[in-house]
Amino acid sequence: MPLRTDSLQKLSQSMSAIVVHLLPVERFVSYCADRDIQTSLEHLERLDRGGFVAPLVREARVGSSSRNVYSAFQCYPIWECLNRLRISGPTVDQISDMTDQELGDVNARIYNTLRVAIPQFKNSLQTSNNAALVCQIISNRYYPHTQTDQRTVSLPSVKFNWDWHEYVRLWDAKRVADELGLDPGEILGMQRRIASAASSMDPLREWDDLIRFVSVDQKQRLRGKALLADALRNMATMLSLFYEDVTGERVPEEFSARRTILLSDESPLRELEYVANKYHLNPRPRLILIVEGESETEQMPRLLELIWNLSPSSASIEIVNLRGIDNFTDKKKVRGGAFRQFIDDCHARQTIVYVLLDNEGRADTVKKDLLKAQSAYFQNRKVTKDKYVHIWSQSYEFDNFRDDEIAKALSAVAGSFKFSAQEVDSARQNFKKGKALDKLFQSKTKHHLPKRDLGRELTGILVAEANSIRALPQRPILLELQSIVEAAATNHQPTSGDAWKANQESGHFGDKIR
């Protein structure tokens, strides 16, 4: 049904075109063209004369001349006129085979159909015309909420003293609805109809959840049906907010233009993470590999690349140098306390922390503390699992290479100095005293062992063996890296709050507490 006749007067009195300006007819035609609505001045005049869509304001003063003025939201009823009422007729080849009598019968059928269809269509179109007018009237209040990347809201710049926040504070949605003669059911009907139209026409509808988080400036670069769908979706959002303010209730989800994937206590920003996970756009690593020392930090990526032809980033793995377990202490100076909190935080964010440590200092004690610690985020699971914390029996070098291989690598690094397998074996026996290889190297060269250079030589030995046997050498580090790559690949990121909660409670990140 038509809105009350004083609606247009209210429109002018309430300055309802501050945020969304009214458009002179020429600009409105251009606005429609950008949205794949092919109209013209003559076409709009015919729609006006036929009682389909009228200008919002007739013969308004624009500069030095008078022009009909439209609301941008009237692109919706114009689109309806071009797309909703279509009469099917015979094709050209069918017409060529028809007699004059048959052509006359076809014309009569079309005429009779139009006599019935046009009044019905006009009645249906009234809802679209009403929706466009309502959206213009409520645009000062709600349109800024549609100009958002879900983190910020874009407010228009105005040339006079107008405070949007004060306008919002004084806004009375129920009074506006009463003045327009609208009940909640009519508002919901408009919202549902427009949301359905936006979804049906949008070529990007399958990516709507992602586009919501795109900046307003970038969304304005859309063209054609995608830009029209965005305009209609904005109208549906405004009507949803209007309905909520009038009734105090949210639009039923089946009618909502925005379906939620969040838990009740999650922030909207978390939704961006879920959406990024859905499209594999989240830059957060699926697994963080913790190693001890610059040598391992440098050589783990080399092993991934040379053995598996993988980079850490392509495997969604980040490699972090712990630089000594003693560096991770909490405020109470509990050794490994901050390390435990770091792992718990990462696991709560769905990133596995995989630890490879030399068996030095209190590494073994730290592992035991990690495995028995309860998660601060989920009371029914531990912080981590045994398979995610690997302590070498001695060290990376001694656990993965034979004495003769280490001796060969030390000799290559030392230049003119040569080392024997027997000397390395002696250092292996003295491992518990700490820095065994460095002490051996200093005893001959009088210099500290350049561990990064040693790491490069040892990696070369592994790669040469892999190339020679054309298979994966059964070295502990390669088996560990294989497990790490598989753990990262199978750490599927959640696309909803329910999925995240299920992952956290599954025992995937920490053993369940019975």
| Claim to verify: residue 141 and residue 191 sit in the same structural domain | yes
> Edge to edge, what strands does the sheet with 352-357 contain?
317-321, 287-291, 352-357, 389-391
Q: Which of 195, 230, 255 is the last residue in one of the domains?
A: 255
Region for residue 53 given its phi and psi (left: phi exceeds 0; alpha: psi -120 to 50; beta: otherwise) = beta
| Claim to verify: residue 394 and residue 430 sit in the same structural domain | no
* Domain annotation covers residue 154: no
The answer to whether the beta carbons of residues 357 and 395 sit under 8 Å apart is no
| Claim to verify: residue 301 and residue 352 sit in the same structural domain | yes
Element containing residue 356 per DSSP (H, E): strand 352-357
14: three-class secondary structure by DSSP: coil
* Domain annotation covers residue 155: no
Q: Using a cut of 0.85, tell me whether the model's pTM lies above it.
A: no
| Claim to verify: residue 100 and residue 220 sit in the same structural domain | yes
Q: What pLDDT is attached to residue 462?
A: 93
Predicted confidence pLDDT, tens digits, the chain (514 residues): 556 555 555 554 455 667 788 899 999 999 999 999 999 999 999 999 888 899 988 876 666 677 889 999 999 999 988 887 666 667 767 777 778 787 777 777 766 666 666 777 777 888 899 999 999 999 999 999 999 888 888 777 765 677 888 889 999 999 999 999 999 999 999 999 999 999 999 999 889 888 888 888 898 899 999 999 999 999 999 999 999 999 999 888 665 545 557 676 677 778 889 999 999 999 999 999 999 888 999 999 999 999 999 999 999 999 999 876 655 555 454 555 788 999 999 999 999 999 999 888 788 888 999 999 999 999 899 999 999 999 999 999 999 999 999 999 999 999 889 999 999 999 999 887 668 899 999 999 999 999 999 999 999 999 999 999 888 889 999 999 999 999 999 999 999 999 999 999 999 999 998 7
| Claim to verify: residue 357 and residue 268 sit in the same structural domain | yes
Q: Which of 255, 279, 295 is the last residue in one of the domains?
A: 255
Write the CB contacts of 228 (distance below 8 Å, at least 6 apart in sequence). 35, 36, 37, 75, 79, 201
Q: How many domains does the chain have?
A: 3
| Claim to verify: residue 455 and residue 489 sit in the same structural domain | no
461: three-class secondary structure by DSSP: helix
Q: What pLDDT is attached to residue 451?
A: 92
Cα–Cα distance between 395 and 437 in angstroms, integer?
A: 10
* Domain annotation covers residue 2: no
Cα–Cα distance between 350 and 502 in angstroms, integer?
A: 11
| Claim to verify: residue 435 and residue 454 sit in the same structural domain | yes
Distance of CA 500 to the CA centre of its chain: 15
Q: How many CB atoms lie within 10 A of CB 41?
A: 13
61: three-class secondary structure by DSSP: strand
* Domain annotation covers residue 157: no
Q: What pLDDT is attached to residue 113?
A: 66
- First-residue to last-residue Cα distance in the chain: 63
Question: Regarding beta strands 23-24 and 65-70, do their DSSP bridges make them parallel or antiparallel, or are they unpaired?
Answer: antiparallel
Cα–Cα distance between 357 and 393 in angstroms, integer?
A: 10
Q: How many CA atoms lie within 13 A of 5 on its CB side?
A: 0
Q: What pLDDT is attached to residue 252?
A: 80
Element containing residue 12 per DSSP (H, E): helix 7-13
* Domain annotation covers residue 336: yes
| Claim to verify: residue 232 and residue 98 sit in the same structural domain | yes
Which CA distances in Å does 405 have to 63, 353, 424, 445, 465?
Answer: 88, 31, 9, 19, 12
* Domain annotation covers residue 1: no
| Claim to verify: residue 364 and residue 414 sit in the same structural domain | no
Write the CB contacts of 288 (distance below 8 Å, at least 6 apart in sequence). 317, 318, 319, 320, 346, 351, 352, 353, 354
Closest CA to 485 of 350, 289, 344: 289
| Claim to verify: residue 407 and residue 394 sit in the same structural domain | no
Question: Regarding beta strands 352-357 and 389-391, do their DSSP bridges make them parallel or antiparallel, or are they unpaired?
Answer: parallel
Write the CB contacts of 96 (distance below 8 Å, at least 6 apart in sequence). none
Place of tokens 């003045």: 179
Element containing residue 290 per DSSP (H, E): strand 287-291
| Claim to verify: residue 360 and residue 452 sit in the same structural domain | no
193: three-class secondary structure by DSSP: helix
Write the CB contacts of 128 (distance below 8 Å, at least 6 apart in sequence). 76, 77, 80, 193
Q: What pLDDT is attached to residue 13?
A: 46
The answer to whether the beta carbons of residues 225 and 36 sit under 8 Å apart is yes
DSSP state for residue 39 in the 8-state scheme: -
DSSP state for residue 382 in the 8-state scheme: B
Closest CA to 55 of 1, 120, 133: 133
* Domain annotation covers residue 497: yes
String of DSSP letters for 477-504: HHHHHHHHHHHHHT-PPPSSHHHHHHHH
| Claim to verify: residue 480 and residue 465 sit in the same structural domain | no
446 is in which domain, residue-wise? 402-472
